[in-house]
Amino acid sequence: MESTCNSPIIVRVFSWGLACFLLLSGCAGGTARGPATTYLLDFSSEKQSLNPEQTQILSIAKGLLGAPYRFGGTNPKEGFDCSGYVAYVYNRAVGVSLPRQTAEQIKTGRAVLRSLRPGDIVYFKIAGPTGWHTGIYIGKGRFIHAPSANGVVNIQEMNLPYWRKQFFGARRVLKNS
């Protein structure tokens, strides 16, 4: 007797039903996790032109690729941690003073509810009440950050399973973007 469980149609219907259930159950309450990641991480409608502030932020941010990681670090000579890197880039590029800690930075600007734009600050909830991580969205589904894991400022894909799972939300500090 043949089983129909391997049928592609049944698998698709089950997958679709499961996806709908998970999507709708996210509206049922629980702890706040920020905007829905599947909605925010759709890069298909991203606009291509950058304003001068965005261009300057990306230029400074990319110019620091390879800078070393250092916990509590705030400059390229000694190294950066994630929030020190973001604060340095914004201050240097556009004269915006951001708070030093990620938990405070996440309160600045306005929440991004529809689509990310280059220069937006992205946040990730890594572990526990103080486990935050931050970086700068650079476009095309990528962000730049100072991670402790690789030890240097680098670029990552936001759609990698790890980052998608940890994604908390984004904030827009620039007024004209």
Query: Is residue 20 situated within a structural domain?
Result: no
- pLDDT of residue 64 exceeding 90, the answer is yes
- Judging by DSSP bridges, how do beta strands 74-75 and 79-80 pair with one another? antiparallel
Rounded Cα gap, residues 110 and 113, in angstroms: 9
For the annotated catalytic residues, the residue numbers are 82, 133, 145
Rounded Cα gap, residues 157 and 140, in angstroms: 9
Is residue 72 helix, strand or coil?
A: coil
State which residues form the domain around 101. 34-172
Query: Is residue 92 situated within a structural domain?
Result: yes
Domain count along the chain:
1
**What integer pLDDT is reported at residue 78 of this predicted model?**
93
Query: Is residue 26 situated within a structural domain?
Result: no
pLDDT tens profile 71-120 = 999 999 999 999 999 999 999 999 999 999 999 999 999 999 778 999 99
| CATH number assigned to the domain comprising residue 119 | 3.90.1720.10
Tell the burial category of 74 from Cβ atoms under 10 Å away from its Cβ (0-12, 13-18, 19+).
Answer: middle
Q: What is the mean pLDDT of residues 17-45?
A: 40
- How far is residue 47 from each of residues 84, 86, 92, measured CA to CA in Å? 28, 22, 25
Cα-Cα-Cα-Cα dihedral sign, residues 37, 41, 47, 52: positive
Residues 159/147, Cβ–Cβ less than 8 Å: no
Residues 82/146, Cβ–Cβ less than 8 Å: yes
Query: Is residue 163 situated within a structural domain?
Result: yes
Structure pTM? 0.75
**What integer pLDDT is reported at residue 114 of this predicted model?**
75
Query: Is residue 38 situated within a structural domain?
Result: yes
Query: Is residue 11 situated within a structural domain?
Result: no
